[in-house]
Structure 1
Amino acid sequence: QIKANIDYYLANARVVRQTMTELGFDHVGGENAPYIWIDGNGRDSWEFFDLLLDKAGVVCTPGQGFGRCGTQYIRISAFNSPENVAKAMARVKDVLK
């Protein structure tokens, strides 16, 4: 059961990673943990957070909350249903393409 839960969330993380790769955003994580750190391509983490929240309706975590090394990153969690992750990534694509 634990392995099934891990696989479930890591499948969601693959969707996030694939979307961000397609959009040209560097990222780390999501392979062994359900969190994906995404480089804002020059955006401040709060600016990136606001953009995704206001324009895509997607909540993420500004990296700056984790210290100064997170200033240009956001963190997206894969803890959701596959349907919701797919919808969120479609909205992110619309905003960032």
Structure 2
Amino acid sequence: MTAAIIVTVLVAGGVFLILQRELLRVVLGFILLGHGVNVLIISAGGMYHRQPPLLGQQDRAAMADPLPQAFVLTAIVIAFAITVYLLALLKAGDSAGGDRP
């Protein structure tokens, strides 16, 4: 239940910021939206405590599923790259004298 509230707040805040006119707020909205999706993926993978998936363990049912964690790590790297790209575009638009409201 707590994860659902966190996802809702992050996604709602992200959508609110994306709909703003200031470009920096749009970038922050994309960051919040990405964090909300990451929390959603982790919570969909299971919020219960399990053993780490190490070689040599016999009970596979007690091991945690590493796939959601791998997805989130990949999403963090992609979100960082997109954020840097959007900030570079924002800086280039400022230095070019773009007409911002």
TM-score w.r.t. the length of structure 2 is 0.30
Bigger Cα Rg? 2
Higher RCO (CA < 8 A, seq sep 6+): 1
Q: Select the structure that is richer in helix.
A: 2
TM-score w.r.t. the length of structure 1 is 0.31
Q: Select the structure that is richer in strand.
A: 1
